Chains A and B, each alone.
Chain A
Amino acid sequence: MDLVLQLLFTGIGIGSVYALVALGFVLIFRATNVVNFAQGEFSMVAAFLMVVFSVKIGLPYWVAFIIALICMAGLGAVFNLAVYYPLRHRTYLPVIISTIGASIFIANTTLAIHGPEPEVLSGWFDTPGFMLGPVYFDNQYVLIIVVTALLVALQYWFFEHTLLGKKLQATSQDKEMAALLGIPVAVMIMITFVYSAVIGGIAGILVAPVLFVSIGMGATIALKAFAATIIGGFGEVTGAIIGGLALGVIETFGAAYISVPYKDGFAFLVLIAFLIFRPQGIFGERVAEKA
C-alpha cells in the first residue's frame, strides 16, 4: 500500500508536469489549429533564463522569475511573427514543419550561446521534501501540482468570465465570425502565443529543480505532453489536465509493475488505444465534416 501511494504521488507529480506543458499545446491548437512542436523549447529557454538571472547574476528568486517570464512573453510574440503568422493561411503541415524548424533553431541557439553543460536551479523551498506517513512528498512536485491546479482555475475564470477570454474563445471557434464581430483576430492569436510561451516558461522553471536544466529537457517532456493532449482531447483544457495526469500515473505504475525500460512504450500504447477507440479524447467532441 505504501508503495502504491508513493507511486501515485510520483505519477501525479510527473503527470502535472505533462499537464502544464499540455496547457500550452491546447491553447495554441485552439487558436490556430496547429500543434506547436517547439512548445517544449519554451520550457527549456525559460529554465535557462532563470539560471542566468537567478544563479549567474544573482537576482532574488522572484525578480528573476518575473524577468524570465517577461522574456518568455517576448519570445512568444517573436515566435508568432516569425513562425506562425507568415503561414497562417496555409494548411497545418507547413506550419508543423515550421515549428519543428523553430524547435531545432531555439535548442541549438541556446546551445551556441550557453554551451552544453547542464545546470542546477534550486527551487523555491529550502528543504527538499517531507514524509507524511510512509510517503515521501517532494516539495517541488507538491508545488507543481498546486500551481497546475491554480493555473487551470485561473484559465477557467479567464475564459469564462472575462471579455478578453470570451473574445479569445470566439476567435478559436470561428475566426471569420470573430472578425465579422469586430474582434481583432491577429491580436487574439498574438495574445495566445504570448500566453502559451509564458505558461511553457512557468512549466520549465517549475520542473528545473527536479529534472535539471539541460538543452534536451524540453523535447522529452513535450512529446509526452503532446500525447497527454491527445488523450485528453484537443478541444478542452480540462482534458489536457486529465490526460497529463493519466499519462503520468500509467507510466509510473507501468514502470513499477511491468517493465522500466518500456516505460515510454506504455504511454504510447495507451495513446494508440485511445486514438483507435476514442479518437475524440476523454472530453473532446467529434467534429464531423459536413457535406
Chain B
Amino acid sequence: MSSSETTASAGAIRPRLRWGVPAYLLLVLAAMALAIVVPKTGYVLNISLQATTYAIAVLGLTVVLGLCGQINLAQAAFFGLGAYAVGIGQTEHGLNFWACLLIGTGVAAGFGALLGASTLRLGGHYLAMVTISFQQIVTLVLINWIPVTKGPDGVRAIPRPGFLADGSTYLAFCIAVLAAVGFLVWRLRDSRLGRAMRAVRDNELAAGVAGIDVYRTKVTAFALSAILGGVGGGLFAGGFSYVSPDQFSFAESVVFLTMVLLGGAASPVGAVIGTGLLILIPEWLRFLKSIPGLYLAIYGAAVILIMVFMPDGIWGFLRGRLDRLKRAVLPVRSGGALQLSGGGQGADTVLEVRGLSKHFGGLKAVDEVDLTIRRGGVHALIGPNGSGKTTTLNVLSGLYKATAGSIVLDGRDITNLPPHARTQAGLGRTFQNIRLWRSMTALENVMVGAERPGSPAGSDPAALMARARAALAFVELEDRADEVVASFSYGHQRAVEIARALAGDPALLLLDEPGAGLNSSEKVELRNLLKRISARGLTILIIDHDMTLVSEVAQHITVLNFGRRIADGYSADVLKHPDVIAAYLGAAPDVPA
C-alpha cells in the first residue's frame, strides 16, 4: 500500500525509546486510574468498553493490512468467535473466563491461519471475497446452529471474572490489554517479522527473493490479526454480557476496516484514533436524528472525504505534519567494513546448470541451456532482446519453475526450491526494474537482506544493523541510511538493491541489467562497484546490454539466442565468435546453426 510512504521516515530503531516506554506506561496507568476513579454513567461506560474492545480487534487489522498489506473483511467474524467462546464456554459449559478467552483466541487463530493459507494463490480482490465469504458463513452458522450457538437469541448473562465484576475495573483491565497489545504491535513493526511483513506488502516478489518466506509471513499476519480479533471479541462479550449473531455481521467487518483506514493503517496509534472516532462520530451525530438516515449519510460522506483528503488516515496526516517540523539528522555510526565470504572456500564451481528449459505453452523461452559458473570473477549472460536471459535468471532464482533440467548451487540441488529457500542456500539477486520496498528506509531494506538465515549477522539486532550499515557503506550510501528509498535517485536505488543482496552474504550474486537506465557517470560508479565486489571474492552473474560494461567487468561470457546457448567461454573469444556477431548484428550466420 502506497499510502504509508510518508510515515516510515522515523528511522529503524527509534531513539526516543529510552524515555518513551516509561512515559507510555505512565499514560496507560493514568488512563486506567481514570477509568476506575472517575464516576461514569452507564452510557459512558458502555461506549468506552465498546471503543476499547473494538480497538484491540482493529489493531489486528493494523498488522494484517497496515504491515502486511493483505485485506481482511472478516474481522467481525474473528471478533465473534472470541465473543461466542467467552459467552458459550462460560454459560453453557461452566468454563473459566480465561480458559474461554484462550479457546476463543485459539479458534480464531486457527481460522485466521486458514484464511491466510488461501493467500498462497490469491490476492487483492479475490482475497477480499474469500474473507467476505468466510464472514458470511460464520454469521449463518451462528444463526442456524442453534444447539451450539443458541441461534439468533444470542447468549445472555455472560459473567466476568470475580475481581473484574465491577464495570469500571473491567474497563481499566481492557485498557491495560489494549495498551499492551498496542505496544506489541508498535514494536512488531521494527522486528524481523514486522520488516518481513512490510517487505511483503511493498513488493512480494522481491521479498521472496530476499529470503523471506512470503507464504508463512502472510499466514502469520492473518493468524495474528485473528488472535487480536478474538481477544477483543472475548473482552467485548465480558463487557456487554450479551452476544448475538447480528453483532458480528459483514457490516461490522466493514466498520472495522473503515476504522483502521480512517485512523491510519500504518500505526497502532491510528487504529486507536480510528476506532475512537468511528464509535463517537455516530454518537455525536445523534442530534440529527429527527431525519432518519441523515447522520449515517453524513458518516458515509465523511468516509469518502477522509479517503480523498487524508490518504494515510488521520494519524498519517498528523505524522506528516510533525515530521516536517523535526527532521533532525541523526548521527550515523559506521558499521565498519563489509565482510563477504563469497560462499566460503568450496568447490571450484559455484553454479552448475544442466539442460535447463522453460516453456510457456508452445514457446521455448529457455531451451536446454547449460551453464557453469566458476568461483570468483564475473560471468556475463548476454544475448539479443527476447533471447531468454531474464527468463533464465527467473528460473535460477525460483520465480519460474523449470520445465526441465537441474540447478546445483555450491553442490546443493536447488531446482525445486521456492525463491526464499534459494536465497537461504546462498543466492542473491537484483531486478531489471528495481524492486525495493519503497515505503521502508534504505537501512530497513538492507536489514531484511542481512536477515537471511545463515548470514554472518545471525539474529542479533545490533549485529544485523551493523552489517546493514556496512553494506550501505560499501555502496557509499551510509549517510542516507535512514531515508525512505522512494525518494532516492534511480542510481542510488540500484545501489541499495545491490547492498540488500550483498548484506545476505550470498555465494552467487545475480544482477539483472544493473546498468539499465543509468547515466554515464552512474555507470562508471556501477563498474567500480562491481569491481570492488569482485575483488572481495564474490562471484557475479550479470545480464546486461551494455557491451562496454560487460567486456570491462566479465571474464566469462555465455551467449543466448532464441532460448539456446550459442556461445560460451572467455570474454575476448566469445565476443569474436561469428554466431555472436551475427546474432547481435542480425545478419544470417555463414553456417546453418
- A interface list, Cβ under 8 A from B: 29, 35, 82-83, 86-87, 90-98, 100-112, 115-116, 215, 223, 226-227, 230, 234, 259, 261-262, 264-265, 268-269, 271-272, 275-276, 279, 289, 291
Q: Which of A35, A115, A272, A291 has the most CB of B within 10 A?
A: A291
The reply to whether B129 and A230 form a contact with Cβ atoms under 8 Å apart is yes
The reply to whether B307 and A108 form a contact with Cβ atoms under 8 Å apart is no
Q: How far is the CB of B548 from chain A (nearest CB, A)?
A: 25
Q: Mark B300-317, 1 if CB is under 8 A from A, else 0.
A: 111110011001000000
B188 within 8 A of A: no
| Residues in chain B near residue A276, CB distance under 8 A | 118, 121-122
The reply to whether B129 and A226 form a contact with Cβ atoms under 8 Å apart is yes
Tally B residues with Cβ within 8 Å of A: 53
| Residues in chain A near residue B302, CB distance under 8 A | 101
B136 within 8 A of A: yes
The reply to whether B128 and A96 form a contact with Cβ atoms under 8 Å apart is yes
C-alpha gap A100/B260 in the complex (Å): 14
| Residues in chain A near residue B293, CB distance under 8 A | 107-112, 116, 215
- B interface list, Cβ under 8 A from A: 1-3, 65, 71, 118, 121-122, 124-126, 128-130, 132-134, 136-137, 140-141, 143-144, 204-205, 250, 254, 257-258, 261, 291-297, 299-304, 307-308, 311, 390, 393-394, 399, 431-432, 512
| Residues in chain A near residue B132, CB distance under 8 A | 223, 226, 268
| Residues in chain B near residue A87, CB distance under 8 A | 307-308
Q: Using A35-B128, A96-B128 as known contacts, list a sample of 8 further A-B pairs with CB atoms less than 8 Å apart, ordered by residue number in A.
A: A98-B307, A108-B294, A223-B136, A226-B129, A265-B141, A268-B132, A275-B129, A279-B126
B144 to chain A: closest residue by CB: A261
The reply to whether A261 and B140 form a contact with Cβ atoms under 8 Å apart is yes
The reply to whether B304 and A98 form a contact with Cβ atoms under 8 Å apart is yes
The reply to whether A115 and B307 form a contact with Cβ atoms under 8 Å apart is no
With contacts A94-B3, A226-B129, A271-B129 taken as known, whether A291 is within 8 angstroms of B205 at the C-beta atoms is yes
| Residues in chain A near residue B300, CB distance under 8 A | 101-108
Q: How far is the CB of A106 from chain B (nearest CB, A)?
A: 7
The reply to whether A116 and B261 form a contact with Cβ atoms under 8 Å apart is no
Could you list 12 examples of A-B contacts with CB < 8 Å?
Answer: A97-B261, A98-B303, A105-B300, A108-B293, A115-B292, A261-B143, A268-B133, A269-B137, A271-B129, A272-B118, A279-B126, A291-B393
| Residues in chain A near residue B71, CB distance under 8 A | 93, 96
| Residues in chain B near residue A108, CB distance under 8 A | 293-297, 299-300
| Residues in chain B near residue A29, CB distance under 8 A | 125
C-alpha gap A138/B118 in the complex (Å): 41
Q: How far is the CB of A128 from chain B (nearest CB, A)?
A: 31
C-alpha gap A204/B126 in the complex (Å): 26
A-B pairs, top 9 by smallest CB distance, nearest first, are A101-B303, A111-B293, A105-B300, A104-B300, A268-B133, A108-B297, A108-B296, A112-B293, A108-B293
Secondary structure call for the A interface: helix
The reply to whether B261 and A94 form a contact with Cβ atoms under 8 Å apart is yes
A101 to chain B: closest residue by CB: B303
With contacts A90-B2, A97-B261, A100-B258 taken as known, whether A289 is within 8 angstroms of B205 at the C-beta atoms is yes
Q: How far is the CB of A11 from chain B (nearest CB, A)?
A: 19
C-alpha gap A271/B65 in the complex (Å): 23
The reply to whether B304 and A291 form a contact with Cβ atoms under 8 Å apart is no
The reply to whether A262 and B3 form a contact with Cβ atoms under 8 Å apart is no
Contact residue among A105, A111, A269 (Cβ-Cβ distance under 8 Å from B304): A105
C-alpha gap A107/B71 in the complex (Å): 24
The reply to whether B144 and A101 form a contact with Cβ atoms under 8 Å apart is no
The reply to whether A91 and B3 form a contact with Cβ atoms under 8 Å apart is yes
Q: How far is the CB of B255 from chain A (nearest CB, A)?
A: 10
| Residues in chain A near residue B432, CB distance under 8 A | 291
The reply to whether A291 and B390 form a contact with Cβ atoms under 8 Å apart is yes
| Residues in chain A near residue B292, CB distance under 8 A | 111-112, 115-116
The reply to whether A90 and B3 form a contact with Cβ atoms under 8 Å apart is yes
The reply to whether A291 and B394 form a contact with Cβ atoms under 8 Å apart is yes
The reply to whether B294 and A265 form a contact with Cβ atoms under 8 Å apart is no
Contact residue among B250, B258, B295 (Cβ-Cβ distance under 8 Å from A97): B258
The reply to whether B297 and A97 form a contact with Cβ atoms under 8 Å apart is no
The reply to whether B121 and A90 form a contact with Cβ atoms under 8 Å apart is no
C-alpha gap A275/B126 in the complex (Å): 7
The reply to whether B122 and A279 form a contact with Cβ atoms under 8 Å apart is yes
The reply to whether B144 and A105 form a contact with Cβ atoms under 8 Å apart is no
Q: How far is the CB of B19 from chain A (nearest CB, A)?
A: 35
Contact residue among B1, B130, B137, B254 (Cβ-Cβ distance under 8 Å from A93): B1
The reply to whether B304 and A83 form a contact with Cβ atoms under 8 Å apart is yes
C-alpha gap A96/B303 in the complex (Å): 11
The reply to whether A291 and B431 form a contact with Cβ atoms under 8 Å apart is yes
| Residues in chain A near residue B204, CB distance under 8 A | 289
The reply to whether A264 and B307 form a contact with Cβ atoms under 8 Å apart is no
The reply to whether A271 and B307 form a contact with Cβ atoms under 8 Å apart is no
The reply to whether B304 and A275 form a contact with Cβ atoms under 8 Å apart is no
The reply to whether B124 and A100 form a contact with Cβ atoms under 8 Å apart is no
The reply to whether A97 and B307 form a contact with Cβ atoms under 8 Å apart is yes
| Residues in chain A near residue B291, CB distance under 8 A | 112
Q: Which of A87, A94, A264, A289 has the most CB of B within 10 A?
A: A94
The reply to whether B399 and A291 form a contact with Cβ atoms under 8 Å apart is yes
C-alpha gap A105/B121 in the complex (Å): 34
Q: How far is the CB of A116 from chain B (nearest CB, A)?
A: 6
B262 to chain A: closest residue by CB: A97
The reply to whether A91 and B2 form a contact with Cβ atoms under 8 Å apart is yes
| Residues in chain B near residue A107, CB distance under 8 A | 293, 296, 300
Q: How far is the CB of B371 from chain A (nearest CB, A)?
A: 18
B291 to chain A: closest residue by CB: A112
Contact residue among B133, B143, B250, B303 (Cβ-Cβ distance under 8 Å from A272): B133
C-alpha gap A230/B129 in the complex (Å): 8
| Residues in chain A near residue B296, CB distance under 8 A | 104, 107-108, 111
| Residues in chain A near residue B137, CB distance under 8 A | 265, 268-269
With contacts A101-B303, A261-B144, A265-B136 taken as known, whether A109 is within 8 angstroms of B1 at the C-beta atoms is no
C-alpha gap A168/B431 in the complex (Å): 33
Q: How far is the CB of A10 from chain B (nearest CB, A)?
A: 21
B71 to chain A: closest residue by CB: A93
Q: How far is the CB of B70 from chain A (nearest CB, A)?
A: 10
The reply to whether B125 and A92 form a contact with Cβ atoms under 8 Å apart is yes
| Residues in chain A near residue B122, CB distance under 8 A | 275-276, 279
C-alpha gap A29/B124 in the complex (Å): 13
With contacts A108-B293, A262-B144, A291-B399 taken as known, whether A35 is within 8 angstroms of B125 at the C-beta atoms is yes
The reply to whether A264 and B140 form a contact with Cβ atoms under 8 Å apart is yes
| Residues in chain A near residue B301, CB distance under 8 A | 101, 105
With contacts A93-B71, A93-B261 taken as known, whether A112 is within 8 angstroms of B1 at the C-beta atoms is no
B303 to chain A: closest residue by CB: A101
| Residues in chain B near residue A269, CB distance under 8 A | 133, 137
C-alpha gap A279/B127 in the complex (Å): 10
Q: How far is the CB of B157 from chain A (nearest CB, A)?
A: 26
C-alpha gap A145/B527 in the complex (Å): 67
Q: How far is the CB of A274 from chain B (nearest CB, A)?
A: 9
Contact residue among B1, B295, B303 (Cβ-Cβ distance under 8 Å from A91): B1
The reply to whether A230 and B126 form a contact with Cβ atoms under 8 Å apart is yes
The reply to whether A102 and B261 form a contact with Cβ atoms under 8 Å apart is no
A278 to chain B: closest residue by CB: B121
C-alpha gap A175/B375 in the complex (Å): 46
C-alpha gap A90/B393 in the complex (Å): 31
C-alpha gap A94/B71 in the complex (Å): 11
Contact residue among A101, A109, A230 (Cβ-Cβ distance under 8 Å from B307): A101
| Residues in chain B near residue A115, CB distance under 8 A | 292
| Residues in chain B near residue A110, CB distance under 8 A | 293
| Residues in chain A near residue B140, CB distance under 8 A | 261-262, 264-265
